[in-house]
Structure 1
Amino acid sequence: MAEKKKASKFLGTALLGLLGVSLIGFGTGGFGTNISSIGKVGDTTIDANDYARALDQELRSLGAQFGQNITFAQAQQFGIDRSVLQRVIAQTALDNETMRLGLSVGDAEVAEQVRAVQTFRGLDGQFDREAYAFTLERAGLSEAEFEADIRSEAARNLLQAAITTDTAPSDAYVDLMFSYLAERRNITWGTVAETDLETPLAVPTPAELQTVYEANPATFTTPEAKRLTYVWLTPAMLADTIEIDDATLRELYEERIDQYIQPERRLVERLVFEDQDTAEAAAAQLAVDPSGFETLVLDRGLTLEDIDLGPVAQADLNGAAEAVFALDDTGVTAVVETDLGPAIFRVNAILTAQETPFVEARDDLASDILANRAARQIQDQARGFDEELASGATLEDLAAESDLTLGTIDWTPDAEQDIAAYDGFRQAARIVGAEDFPEIAELEDGGIFALRLDEVIPPTLQPLSDVQQQATLAWQEAQRTAARAAKADAAADSLRAGTALPDLGLDEVIEQDLTRSDTIPGAAPELVQTAFEMAIGDVRTIEGESATYIVRLDAVNGPDADNPEITALRDAVETAARQDISQDVLDAFTAAVQADARVQLDQGAINAIHAGFN
């Protein structure tokens, strides 16, 4: 039963992936070709659509991870295309092995898994034939193709389950890992900070400054920089040249009236039932325990996202408005008859009515209009600027004859001032070369720019006279660190000899039952890490950013058998080890069958798919 649920969940997720890339069009001429396969593993073809969808999903995943779109060229630099190809080959190798072994599932199993996919359910939580057909049509799949995919996936699951059976780790291994993770330690520690030093810091002599300067040239060396000349024009630069009358502002205010005048709204969920009796029984249950609403939703095979209506006003709810807005606070309504059948509504929050008068909205409206008009003016001029540059005009020429502003910058990747604050400019500055001609490019706010590389300034060691203050700070920090370390070393020697830290004028902190995952507020992370590298009675010093730590290990204790979270950790260790072993066994098996079956790839087809992503 567990395997069926797992497979159904996978299929629902896989279908969403198919929908996400339904416009790719492989196998249907989406790239001007009719690619159906990119090769074979044994007697089984490697489906081109499978590879294309896997690539697209990986790109989307990377984009979500980095917070920006990832181009296919960037993905190739990370080896994503090769990784995805190997994954699809491995899956096809398992498909080929299931065919060789004659593994498959019957129509009843396929039908059950189709009905279990959440995407194919209607509002009543039951399988909806029309939703099934519509969803597959949007994904560019026939029912036969999708059900064949289900059958293949189910067969692979059977094979994988057989391969990974009986992969439990040994008790000795689990006990060893559990003891390592859950072992506890008692420590005594203290710190030596600058305030604990008796001698104030001196002022360095010229000779001492020279020594620091010569010993740390990298500290006083500027990074490589690009000296750039640029022109730019942004909407903000044109704001003073654009006039807006009140009539225009009021017209925009009326267009956005729903934004500035909002009636009371409520965050509402609607749970529809098959009949009145079922709805009344649920209402009676909620009258006793209002917190049981989520359980009712889950029992119907739905999620809270499925029933969420979002923020709604009275006008949005038709006949249900009276019951929903009659609630004085959050809660559930009685049974309400709706177009979809009897339903219960839950109000999760009440959003009070809001009204922003024209006078208060005026500045925002004017800002939007100014930005839009200025951006349009800039875009209208951009093509002409580009043509002038292509005809031989210099950046200086453009600035002299237009509203473009001329500037220069010694750009480094750390630069963030003025135009360097724009991502578009930074990207262009990063790749511009000496042979590149200036071209008009866009900025994020609707502005434009063009740049020219004048020279590359190599890393330069600055004269000591220019960095004297920086050298003084470096010398003082070195003196401060050395003084702290000397006092901490002396205190550590005294602690080993039996003198307590308070007797040395230092604060003492006692920590008990620390585990490897614990942190001590305000202390360097290395403090706990070091404690687990020590033997009982050892004393060590640790250099931190603003203090030197002294730590003594007082005791080593085994896992806390009375702590349910710790005892549950052993089960987690065993589960993780079982999964790791299972994956290793599966990887080894997949590699073996892949080698036996002989992989044949059509590099031309693969390249054609790659071209579709560029």
Structure 2
Amino acid sequence: MAKSAAKKVSNVFVWILMGLLFVALAGFGIGSFSGGASQVGSVGDVEITADDYFRALNNEINAQSADERRAVPFAEIRARGIDAQILAGLTARAALSHEAGAMGISVGDAEVAAQIAQVQAFQNTSGNFDRNTYEFVLQQQGATPREFEEDTREDVARALLQTAVIGGLTPNEIFAETITAYQSETRDFTRLEVREGDLTVPIAEPTDAELAAYYDEFPERFTRPEARRITYAWIIPSAIMDDVEIDEDALRELYDDRIDEYVQPERRLLERLVFNSDAEVDAALAAIEAEETDFDTLVADRDLTLEDVDLGEIAADDLSDAAAAIIFADEDSELLGPVPSPLGPALFRVNAVLQSSEVPFEEARDDLSAELAQEGARRQIDDMREGIDDLLASGATLEELSDGTVMTLGTLDYTPASEEGIAAYDNFRDAAVSVQDSDFPELLELSDGGLFALRLDEVVPPTLPPLDEIEAEVAEAWQATALRDAVAERASQLVAQLAQGATLEDLGDTAEERLIRRQDLLPDLPATTVAQVFQLEGTGDVVMIPGADAAHIVRLDTINSGVRDAPDTSVILSIMNQSIAQSMAVDIFEAYGQALQANAGITTNQGVINAVHASFP
């Protein structure tokens, strides 16, 4: 009975149940609460023990610490409200246990044994339950078989109760069909674009008064964000690499080490299909020449893919002498065969001929020299590290650091949008965000082997620059706004002509959009275009949609209902049915759980809860 009932629960319900089992079982072996009182609360006659609460909290802290790769303090867990969520979960579990007990729901030893036998941790290498492994694992976790088996019995009983409440829910099909019809509907429309060239009167240059008025009306557009004014000293390899002496012998040695990159023989991009005999290769070639098949089809007939037969770039030395003589002697044929190969006679397809190439040392010299200079500069910077560290440790300022070393001094009003110069380095960006005005400069690394140190001078609040400093920026913004308004006004005038009998095609060049879905994005049109098209009620309806540099007049041509048996529609309908069933089940089970808790009565002991909390550092 237990097994057949449990099979009726859908996947989502199984996951809900597994969440309850996780709270119950995952805590074994992680310690226990050592305070005096043992009960943080109860639902009816089912206790929520301090050990249960402690283990669940500790398990969650460990899980979050693993996810975030840092030690998550308990104070942060409380700030996120996770402690309340865990207590609520334990309360819901206790309410189910209380109701299952009141209804006399339980399972026998055989079902408990069957459930335990499915736990992988208790199985041997053959995948079978092993009693010795079972007892050893529980002993290591500080639990006894009796405790674990009783917990399992209660979990299965709760699962049966949950299945009885939410199993077999079947939503009315009209719900899913209505939503699917809405989602699968498509629309066809025609649009006319109105740009600056379509204006009857060009946009004039703004006057000083218009700029001042625009500046006053939209100060938020020109206000600079809060910035962190930072002084920094830095040194990077590219700043000193020109001074690095390059040894000629080292250049030659590097060139010789990479000779395969600079001197490459003639190569072929090859695919190879192996046959049992030369006769089979000849037959395949004959069939291809008669246009009865092709190479791709021959590959597919073997249940192979083109990736399976692809050899990549092949030089003559990569082949046997016999194969190389056939393949590299022919520069015109695409198919060659039969060609001997280690696997047997083969048909080769030549996809490209790559001619031999050679880059002389003299041509490669500059690149090799730059690489060696970069490496030498990094070594020099690394040698400077200890001396710079000592200067900072002795209290030297960044200005003194710049005067006494090769490091360069700079200042920057840093914002998240900063990306020029040193702000292009992630390490600097991270340091710029975290540095405090009380911090002493410390030496940090850059990704290219450079070094830097920085100091926060002040936090600059959001600031609106004077108009005369940003007049060009304000003028550009004014022009953009004027263009948007002007093309929208012109488009509205054209819409009025439609009302007087003109057609959209009469007004200019149009474009058609077909079978557009609600979720589609049209990259060349305003973001609201699709939504506004689906708000039109009937064919022939028109809407004007303004954009940044163009306005769009859109006419709805056709409303296409979703095809009931189309593959996409069937998928949407299936998803909708599942989603509705799951939503109903969650709502019903939540209401049921709240009713159980209300009827059974919930008690909590805040003193014990506080004591459990106090046991965490």
| TM-score, normalised via structure 2 length | 0.64
Query: Structure 2 CA distance, aligned partners of 1:478 and 1:239?
Result: 48
For 2:526, the aligned partner's letter is A
Cα distance change of structure 1 residues 573 and 135 upon mapping to structure 2, 3 Å threshold:
farther
Letter in 2 for 1:599: T
**Matched residues, percent identical?**
29
> More displaced, 170-179 or 218-227?
170-179
- Other-structure match for 1:475: 478
What does residue 602 of structure 2 align with? 597
**Aligned CA distance change for structure 1 residues 163 and 206 (closer, same or farther; 3 Å):** same
Structure 2 residue 58 is the aligned partner of structure 1 residue 52 = yes
Q: What's the CA shift for 1:240? A: 8.9
**1:334 — aligned with what?**
none
**Counterparts of 1:170 and 1:500, CA distance in 2:** 45
The aligned runs of 1:402-441 (5 Å cut-off) are: 405-434=408-437, 436-440=438-442
Residue 507 of structure 1: which of 497, 510, 516 is its match?
Answer: 510
Alpha-carbon separation, structure 2, partners of 1:447 and 1:604: 51
Amino acid of the residue matched to residue 173 of structure 1? F
Quote the offset at 1:425 in angstroms. 4.1
Name the SS for the 2:510 alignment partner.
coil
How many residue pairs match? The answer is 493
- Distance in 2 between the 1:599 and 1:491 partners? 71
**Residues 304-324 of structure 1: CA distance to partner in whole angstroms, max 9, x if unpaired?**
xxxxxxxxxxxxxxxxxxxxx
Equivalent of 1:27 in 20, 24, 31:
31
Maintained 8 Å contact 1:38/1:605? no
Counterpart CA distance in 1 for 2:376 and 2:38 is: 52
1:24-61 per-position Cα deviation (integer Å, ceiling 9, x unaligned): 984179xxx89998934431323423222234434555
How far is 1:474 from its partner? 1.2
> 1:38, 1:47 within 8 Å by CA — same for their partners in 2?
no
- The amino acid across from 1:79 in the alignment is R
1:460 and 2:466 aligned: no
Q: Which residue of 1 aligns with 2:579?
A: 576
* 3-state secondary structure, aligned to 1:532: helix
Describe the SS at the equivalent of 1:461. coil
Q: Which residue number corresponds to residue 487 of structure 1? A: 490
Structure 2 residues without counterparts, runs of 5 or longer:
258-300, 305-341, 345-364
> For each residue in 1:142-175, what CA deviation from the matched residue of structure 2 results, as whole angstroms up to 9, or x when unmatched?
5747666654543332222122135433344334
User: Quick one: structure 1 residues 136 and 327, their matched pair in 2 at CA, closer, same or farther if it must change by over 3 Å?
Assistant: farther
Shift of 1:86: 4.8
Secondary structure class of the residue paired with 2:593: helix
Show CA shifts across 1:509-532 (max 9, x none).
2534x4323344533342221122
- In the TM superposition, what is the alpha-carbon distance from 1:460 to its structure 2 partner? 2.5
Farther off after superposition, 528-537 or 145-154: 145-154
Partner SS for 1:221: coil
Report what 1:39 is aligned to: 40
Given that 1:190 and 1:549 are in contact with CA atoms closer than 8 Å, whether structure 2 keeps it comes out as yes
CA shift digits 1:155-203 (9 cap, x unpaired): 3322221221354333443343333323343433332233444554433
Q: Given that residues 12 and 118 in structure 1 are in contact (C-alpha distance below 8 angstroms), is that contact kept between their aligned partners in structure 2?
A: no
Distance in 2 (alpha carbons) for counterparts of 1:210 and 1:398? 46
| Compared CA separation, residues 371 and 11, structure 1 to 2 (3 A) | farther
The whole-number CA distance in structure 2 between the counterparts of 1:242 and 1:130 is 70
Aligned to 1:226: 228
Q: CA offsets per residue over residues 224-275 of structure 1, 9 Å max, x none?
A: 222223345678879899999999xx9xxx9xxxxxxxxxxxxxxxxxxxxx
Q: CA–CA distance in 2 between the matches of 1:195 and 1:146?
A: 79
Q: Is this contact kept in 2: 1:105–1:151, CA < 8 A?
A: yes
Match of 1:280 in 2: none
The separation in 1 between residues aligned to 2:542 and 2:464, in whole angstroms, is: 42
For residues 29-108 of structure 1, what are the structure 2 equivalents within 5 Å? 39-42=40-43, 43-45=47-49, 46-58=52-64, 60=66, 63=68, 76=77, 79=80, 81-82=82-83, 84-86=85-87, 88-90=89-91, 92-94=93-95, 96-97=97-98, 100-101=101-102, 103-108=105-110
Counterpart Cα distance in 1 of 2:422 and 2:169:
59
Query: Unaligned regions of 5+ residues in structure 1, if any?
Result: 255-287, 292-325, 329-358
> Over the residues paired in the alignment, what is the CA RMSD in angstroms?
5.2
Q: Which moved more, 1:37-46 or 1:482-491?
A: 37-46
Change (3 A) 1:361 1:226: closer
* Rounded Cα–Cα distance in structure 1 between residues aligned with 2:519 and 2:133: 47
CA distance in 2, matches of 1:50, 1:139: 18
Structure 2 CA distance for aligned equivalents of residues 12 and 586 of structure 1: 12
2:586 maps to a residue whose letter is Q
Distance 1:114 1:523 in 2: 59
How far 1:94 sits from its partner (Å)?
Answer: 4.6
Q: Name which one, 1 or 2, has greater alpha-carbon Rg.
A: 2
Structure 1 residue 533: Cα displacement: 1.6
2:99/2:596 contact within 8 Å kept: no
Q: Which residue of 1 aligns with 2:394?
A: 388
Structure 1: distance between partners of 2:148 and 2:443? 45
Residue 430 of structure 1 aligns with an amino acid whose one-letter code is V
- Distance in 2 separating the partners of 1:405 and 1:37: 64
Alpha-carbon spacing, 1:9–1:119, altered in 2? closer, same or farther (3 Å)? farther
Give runs of aligned pairs for residues 134-213 of structure 1, distance below 5 A: 136=137, 140=141, 144=145, 150-197=152-199, 199-213=201-215
Distance 1:8 1:555, change over 3 A: closer
Q: Which amino acid aligns with 2:98?
A: E
What's the counterpart of residue 531 of structure 1?
Answer: 533
Task: Measure the CA separation in 1 of the matches of 2:8 and 2:31.
Answer: 32
Deviation at 1:466, TM superposition (A): 2.1
The question of whether the paired residues in 2 share the 8 Å contact of 1:27 and 1:35 is answered with: no
How far apart, in 2, do the equivalents of 1:244 and 1:36 lie?
A: 76
2:176 partner amino acid: V
What is the match of residue 216 of structure 2? 214
1:517 to 519, 526, 539: 519
SS in 2 for 1:569: helix
Post-superposition offset of 1:608: 3.8
- CA–CA distance in 1 between the matches of 2:215 and 2:238? 44
Question: Post-superposition shift, 1:541?
Answer: 1.1
Which residue of structure 1 aligns with residue 544 of structure 2?
Answer: 541
